[in-house]
Every structure is written in C-alpha cells, then in structure tokens.
Chains A and B, each alone.
Chain A
Amino acid sequence: MGSSTVLPAIIFLPLVGAAAIALIAPSRSTVLKPVAVATSAATGALTLWLMAAFDKHDGGFQFTQFAEWIDSAGISWHVGVDGISLFLVVLTGLLFPIAIVACDPPHDAKAYYIWMLVLETGCLGVFLALDLVLFFLFFEIVLIPMYFLIGSWGHENRKYAATKFFLFTMLGSALMLVGMLVLALLTARETGNAVTFNVLELANSAGELPTITARWIFLSFVLAFAVKVPLFPVHTWLPDAHTEAPTAGSVILAGVLLKLGTYGLVRFGLYLFPEASRYFAPLLFTLGVIGILYGAVVATMQRDLKRLVAYSSVAHLGFIVLGIFSINTEGIEGGLLQMVNHGLSTGALFLLVGFIYERRHTRQISEMIGLQKAAPVLAAVFTVVMLSSVGLPGLNGFVGEFLILAGAFVAHRWWAVVAAAGVILAALYLLWAYQRVFHGTPDDTNRSMPDLNWQEKLVMAPLVGLIVFLGVYPKPVIERMEPAVNALIEHMEEVEGFESPTVDDRPEGSFEELRTLKSDYGDEGEGH
C-alpha cells in the first residue's frame, strides 16, 4: 500500500472541527453542538471506511504516510494502521460522536466541545503513530484536554481528581521519554546508523541492544503504560478521575484512554522488546491477575455506582494485560478484542450511570431502588450492557475473555485458573449492584424517574447493537486482527529465537478442544 492521506485526514479532522468551533461567535452558541457532532461523526465515518478498505490478509501496516519532520533529531511524521490498531481507531471514531451526542455540558459549551475534539485528535494520533516521538507527543498531549474536561465540567472533587490524573500519567511518561532516548541513541550506536525513532526500524534492530539495557528500557516503557492502563498498584488515579469526570469524560476515559496503555504494551512493549517482554511477562500477568481480583473485590464494596464501574475497569484491564502477556495468538487476540469490548460495554455503562445521575442527582446505590419499574427501557439496556461486562456467552465480553483465558491457560495455567475466578466475582458485583438499584419496590423519589428519551435511546442503540453483534459474530474483527498478531509473534520469535507456546504444542494434547472450540466459534458465526 502506498502513501495515503486518509490517516492524516482522520487524525486532523477533529482538530479542524475544534478550530471551527473556536471561531464561532458567542451569539451563535446553538450551532456549537451540531458542528461538534458533525465533525466527530465524519471522523467516525472515515474510520468505518478505513475498516472497509482495510486488506484483511495483510499483517503489515497499511495506509502508511511518511514525511520528514525534525530531521536533525531523526523524528518523522510516520503513520500507519494494522490489524492491531484498526479496531481501536474505529472504536475511537464511534465513541466520540456517541459521547458528544449523549451529554450536553452545563456551562462553557464552546470550550467543552473544543477539548473533546482535541482529545479525539490526540487519541487517534496515539493509535496511528509509527514514530516513537510522534507517539509520545500524542500520548502526552491527551492529558491536557482530559485535564480540563475533568477539572472544568466534573463533579465536586474535580480539581483533586484532575491534578492526580495529570501527575500520575505524567510521572509514567517522564521516565518513558528517557527510555525512548536511550533506546534510539544506543540502537544507533550499535547499528552504526543515524538516530531514528521510526518504530519499524527500531523493531528490526530490536535484538541489537544488550539484554540488560533493553530490559531497563522496557521497564521505563511499561511504567508509562501501566499507569495509563492502569495496572495494580498504580491504578489509584482511576477511581477518582472516572468518578469526578463528567459523563462524556468517563466514557472516553474508560473507552479510549485506558486503551492507550494496553495498546502501548502491545505496540511498543512486545514489538520493540521481544526478549524483555518475555522476561518480565510473569511479573506483568501476575499484576494483571492481582488487578482482576483486587478490582473485583473493591468494586463489590463500593457504595457509589460510578465508582463501582470504575473499579470494574481495573479488573477488566487486568484481563487484557493477562492476555497480552500470554504472548500467544489467542491471548493477544483476546486482549485486543477485549479492548474493543471493554470500550463498548464500560462506555455504555458510564453513559447509563450518567443518565441515572441526571435524573436522580445521586450516584449512591443505597438511594436508588426499584428503578426497573420506573424506567423499564433503561433497565433493559442496563441488563444487556451489564451482562456483556460480566462475560455472558452470546455477548461480546465472553468472546474476549474466553480467548484470553485460552491463551493464558496455555501459557500459565494456574494464573488462568485464578483469573477465571475473577469472572465469577464480576458477576457477583455487577448483578448485586443491579439487584439493589433496579429490583424492589421504588419509593416516591425513585418512582417518578423518567425513562430514556429518544435521544438517549438513539445513543445506546449502536452500542447495544455492537455488543450483541460482536458476541454472536466476532469473525470480521478477529480475521482482521489475526494476520497482524501472527506477524507480531513471528517477529518476536525471529528476533530472539523463542517459540511462543501454542495450543498445538502441548504434550498432553488436552487443550486440543480449546482450539477446536475457538474455530467452532468462528464457524458458528459464519453460519449466521
């Protein structure tokens, strides 16, 4: 695939929209939202076109564009998309218009829409950048709009949450900057080439660095991503940020921003540091499993519905990390798929919690009872989304968790067993919360709560539709991911002559059925 301008168009279209909004006169504030919706919807349409035009048999980067930028430092404008980033781009393209349509800011609408669109540009840039510095620039700049979104439109404790979010994330990436420079400079010294931050070239010379050095650099990268994911024990910013953020902020934070971390682990962890990834894999999936259990237990204890959803993210992201560091096709695919699933289901959950908050002005579980009677449609949608988050077969969450557990089981059996217990805990806290909020006889305040209006139904429709569709027929997603994931595994094996554990290699052969089950699943889907 030659040079293409579709990716820059996707990245910069929201920024153009933000500039347009900035120029709208204060007297014409009614056009602010239409412009923001139109821009983000157009970006979403472009990402859908990208998915349609994507060559599903190609495991490499497509639609790449390269231009020299800061030549003296070896930094270039280099973007491209592969099966790993494709669906995160599409997810971003979908969630932003939904979040913008769903929630109106109570004040300062102009600044709000500008920050939302700048945030979209930042997120898309992170997923599409193929130059390490370019990636870092987008990765860092995302902080600014999110900081202002939480700080200006958040709830009571917003200043604290915004500052904590900013500093935690910046702490992670500060060390990553040093790691990046060490990587580029030492690689240039080892290979004798000019300094470059081109990810493809760095990956090609990934085996050149001394093992110990590469491990240190890997750790500096992992810290940055672990904060963003967030992995236990650097997750403490997340509950505050999610709870205090305005609804749209929470949706984007959970749906897209957390994926910057897990995406980074795959693209810049596994891809650039095959040996170090394998060396530190036990540490990382152990932290992932701790996150699964810890997130679930803490979520169970929450009295605040939004905080509960926030902690459920810690558990879900633990699953994704477990999948990624199984370092086999099933695990990584499952992790990637689960990133999309988590974006859809947790995004939807935050929207629903936001809808409830707008009506009841509380997030306390104890103050809500019997909402099912007052708002049956809301309850029904909540049920579907919650079950997807729990991982009920037939909905999207199941497919991802299943693949992750399949991959993890092969790689590290007992961790998979423990993680599977996390699935049960997820059912526990979510169902219990549902029971407390929606079941029972509503008291006077809860009885009068209005149901979803047409706009809110419209917003939830695509999310619920995708949750069901991906649960029944995940093949279109998986088949586009598979070549890229296989290419990644091959690259890792090539660099250090390491064989990834696969289902077929197991001497017992007792996991044969996993492989069969998985392909059955795809075939079953084809039948529809």
Chain B
Amino acid sequence: MLSVFAQADIPDIQWLPLIPHLVMAGAAVVLLTVVSLAGNRLPGWFASAWTVAAGLGVLATAIPVWLRVDQEGPSSTIAGSIGVDQFSVFIIVVLACTVILTALVADGFLHRESLDAPAFYVLLMLSAAGGITMASANNLIVLFLGLEILSLAVYVLVAMHLRRAESQEAGIKYFVLGAFASAFLLYGIALVYGATGSLNLIDIEGILRGDELGDNGLLLAGMAMLLVGFGFKVAAVPFHAWTPDVYQGAPSPVVSYMAAGVKAAGFAALLRVFFAGFGPVADDWQPVIFGLAIASLAVGSMLAIVQNDVKRILAYSSISHAGFILVGVQAATDDGVASVLFYLAAYAAMAIGSFAVVTVVSGPGDEGTGLDSLRGLATRRPLLAAGFTVLLLSQAGIPFTAGFWAKFEVITAAVDARSFWLAVIAMLAAVVAAFLYLRIVVAMFLDAPDPDAPRLRIPRGPALAITIVVLFTLAFGIYPEPLLNLANDAFLLITFTAPH
C-alpha cells in the first residue's frame, strides 16, 4: 500500500503522524456510509459505540507519534504543511477524549429527545477531525481548512435540535457570526501573505526572524485580523457576544464539545500561528493578548453573576476561562505554552462534566436549564450533586482539583514573564467567578428541593462520563505531576526536518 504512494510524484509524506487524522475523519465517513446502507437495522447504541471506538483509536495511534517525536524531535510533513510535534499530539489527545466523553453524554440525550442519532456522531467526528488539522497545521491555508471543517460541523450540531426554536436561532446566530469571523481570518491570512510572501508558518517565522518587519502595516493588520478570527473561536472578549446565546440554545452535549473541543482547537491554532509563527514579533501581539485577557476575565466573571440560567452562567464562565488561558498565551514562553495545554486538558474535563450534568438535569426538551432546576439536587441525587460540586470547585480553582493546578501553572507562567499585574487581575477575576460557582452550589445544597420535581433519571452514558471527569479532576488535583510533565514535554517547535 505504502509503496504505491511512494512511487507517485507527491511530496515526501510521513504516514505515522497522519494516522490519527485519518482515523478520526475516516471513522466519520465510514459511519455515515454504514448508517446510510444499514439504516434502521443497526442497534441504537451502535453510532455512539462507534464514536467511542474511533476516539480510542485516535488515542492509540497518537501514542507512537508522541514516542517517535520524543526520540527524533519535531518535524513537518506534506511539504511542511502538517507539523509533527508533541504539542499537536497533546491537543489531538484532548480532542479525542472530548469526542469520547461527548459521545457518552449524547447517548442518553439523543434518545430522550428522539433526534437523528448517527448524523450527530458523524458531525462530531468530522468537527474533531477539523480540530486535529487546526492543531497540527503549519500552513495558514491548511489551518483555515481545518477551522472551516470544524466550524461547519458545529454550526449544524448547534441547530440540531429540530423542535426547539432556540436551537435554530443559536445555529443561525453562530453561523452568521462565525462566517464573519472566518472572513476576517481569511483576509488576515491574505495580508500576512502579502507582507511575508509565504503561507507556511515555518517560512514566516524565518522571515520575521531575519527581517525588521515588526512595524510593517500589512503584517500588523494581518495579525489583528487573525486575532479576530481566533478570538471568536475561543470566545474571548470582545468577540464573545455569541457565546451565551449559542450555549443556551444549543443542545447540551454539543455545548460540552464546544466548550472543551472547539476551545482547545482554537487555542492550539492561536498558539501555532502567534507563538510559533509570529514568535519573533511577540512584542507586537503580546499587548493585544494582554488586553483580550483582561477584558475576557472581567466581562466573563462579572456578567456571569447576573445570569439565572445555568447554561448562560457556564457560558460566561467559559469566557472567563478563555481569559485565564490567554494569560498563559500572553507569557509567550515555553512554560506559558505548557500551562495553556494543562489548562485546556483540565478545563475540558470540567466543561464536559458540567454540561453533562446540565444535560441530565434539564429534562425532556432540554428546557430545564434555569438555576431553579438544580434546587435541592443534593437531596434528590446526592452523588450527582457531589460530582458537580467537584467540577465547579475545580472551575473556581480550589485546591486538590485539577483546576487549581491549571490556574497555578498559568499564573506561574505570567509571573515568570513578569506580567505581575495581569496575574493579580486574573486572580481577582477568579474570586469574582467563585461567587457564581457558589451560587450553583447554594442552589444544589442549601435550597430546598421542589416537591413536585420529577424523579431524575441518569442514563448510563452521562453517568460514566461524569464519573471519569470527576476522577480525572480529583486525581490530577492531588497528584498533577504526570499531566504537568506531559504538558511540559509538549514543546511547540515548528521546523521542516528533525534537528539532528
């Protein structure tokens, strides 16, 4: 098989690092084909089990890539457009885990809402395949392709709940604004090409290192437009306006994926382009990230306080988390990148778990997402309430949860880069944000349950997913060393060939 490709006149391709990409995308296409042919003859659990298997397959195929890069150092393939580095493998693993957990959460949900199941999983895997491409793209056009694959699938997923007007509205809103952001991104790519004469990040990095392009208007405008595009994807203020509405309207498992997966892919692309590609002109973009971080932290945590819908609260809190992650990006150091990776992994767990709880609690029609729906959950479902509390405390950054170490690492990176005031502002925002998590805890533990509340059914899939993320949060809260080491090893270094 390989020899056939080797004879063709195509650029040198390392196949090993591409396998995770192919598994994720291939699994989506195969699932689509199988369900079209087999139709209703397949058991109900098939699509979700297939998706979990695909996610596990990606995990399994990512390990040899990691080990190989560990030995040979980072490199690129397909004419330098796909990076082979541990940074991308880390993000691929996060995305694969997100897909697995989202599939588990969605299992019960799609049944409850009687929605067309296979399409959901196909789109989920396609979107993740786009994310994987974004996380490893060393070429701006490839990156844009990845981003569009990811986004188009998510637009549809958001509007998936056919009988809910809110879902449709959220889909349209996300699509229109998303298309707008993509246009910005594409225009930014064009301007950067105009300034540097290349679309390849490795070339761009080399050109910027050599030339004094720091005050080149084209380059600056291009970078600004790229930031708009990425800022939209990661929900940073002032490009966040869609977040609360879309999170509230979209089906809850989709929000799990958006908060964890789309954010991870967005930050991966942001770091690849800005930290790796535009690294030599970091002085130009660091102040902008500084401003975005402060705005996201302040707006996210403060506006969350006045919300009364759990999904909206968590949407604003996700904006505040984006601000925290930007604090790590702003450091523009290897430690900063490691802290971002750790934060993304920890946040993925908290976000998926939190929205999984919302999925379970919201009840038929996905309607009961008000704070009231959580009242007295501790009496109705003690274990679910305890698990949600762990995740909320992790989001608040309380010790012995992974969320604490995530904040610890990000603040360490900021302090190490001498951004003392940013660190102080971030921690103050964390205190404000703690208030909103406490509001949810108060509702669950200190408010009396509604006597008319129906008995809560927790399907097996979400139960398993919540258990996994809670254990993850606690285990790495008590002993974060393994995950810290992985994040520290996941260097972001873009290069054509492995240095020897």
* Chain A residues at the B interface, C-beta cutoff of 8 Å: 69-73, 133, 136-138, 140-141, 143-144, 147-148, 151-152, 158-159, 162-163, 166-167, 170-171, 174-175, 177-178, 181-182, 185
Contacts and interface: CB of A to CB of B under 8 A. Distances in A.
A167 B435 CA distance: 7
A445 B234 CA distance: 65
A178 B434 contact: no
B448 to A, nearest CB: 12
B160 interface: no
Given A144-B393, A152-B446, A167-B435, A178 B399 contact: no
A189 to B, nearest CB: 9
Contacts of A151: 442, 445-446
A143 B398 contact: yes
A227 to B, nearest CB: 11
Contacts of A185: 412, 415-416
Interface in B480-500: 480-481, 484-485, 488
A162 B409 CA distance: 29
Given A151-B445, A159-B442, A185-B415, A72 B431 contact: no
Given A69-B481, A143-B398, 8 more contacts: A70-B484, A73-B412, A162-B446, A167-B435, A171-B431, A177-B408, A178-B411, A181-B415
Interface in B422-440: 423-424, 427-428, 430-431, 434-435, 438
Contacts of B472: none
Contact of A163 (B393, B420, B442, B488): B442
Nearest to A71: B481
Contacts of B428: 171, 174-175
A445 B408 CA distance: 56
6 contacts: A73-B408, A147-B438, A163-B438, A171-B431, A177-B408, A178-B427
Given A174-B428, A174-B431, A185-B415, A140 B398 contact: yes
A125 to B, nearest CB: 10
Interface string B248-265: 000000000000000000
Given A70-B481, A73-B412, A175 B445 contact: no
A178 B438 contact: no
Nearest to A188: B416
A148 B442 CA distance: 9
B430 A72 contact: no
A140 B399 contact: yes
B400 interface: yes
**DSSP class of B's interface residues: helix, strand, loop or mixed?**
helix
Interface in B144-198: none
Contacts of B420: 178, 182
Interface in B452-500: 479-481, 484-485, 488
A73 B407 CA distance: 13
A69 B484 CA distance: 12
B330 to A, nearest CB: 15
Contacts of B481: 69-72
Given A72-B481, A159-B442, A174-B427, A137 B399 contact: yes
B484 A72 contact: yes
Given A70-B484, A166-B438, A182 B415 contact: yes
A255 B409 CA distance: 34
A181 B411 contact: yes
B313 to A, nearest CB: 15
A358 B499 CA distance: 76
Nearest to A140: B399
Contacts of B480: 70
A73 B404 CA distance: 14
Contacts of A72: 481, 484-485, 488
Given A177-B408, A182-B420, A167 B446 contact: no
B442 A141 contact: no
Interface in B374-399: 393, 398-399
B411 A177 contact: yes
A174 B430 contact: yes
A141 B446 contact: no
Contact of A148 (B430, B445, B488): B445
A175 B421 CA distance: 10
Given A152-B445, A181-B423, A141 B415 contact: no
Contacts of B398: 140-141, 143-144
Nearest to B421: A178
A114 B221 CA distance: 58
B399 A136 contact: yes
A190 to B, nearest CB: 14
A399 B285 CA distance: 62
Instruction: Rank and list the top 9 A-B pairs by shortest CB-CB distance, nearest first.
Output: A174-B427, A137-B399, A181-B415, A178-B423, A140-B399, A171-B431, A141-B399, A151-B446, A174-B431
A8 to B, nearest CB: 14
Contact of A167 (B400, B427, B434, B445): B434
Nearest to B409: A73
Interface in B113-144: none
Nearest to B484: A72
Interface string B26-59: 0000000000000000000000000000000000
A177 B442 CA distance: 26
Contacts of B442: 151, 159, 162-163
B445 A163 contact: no
Contacts of B393: 144
A175 B411 contact: no
A192 B231 CA distance: 38
Nearest to B412: A181
Contacts of A158: 446
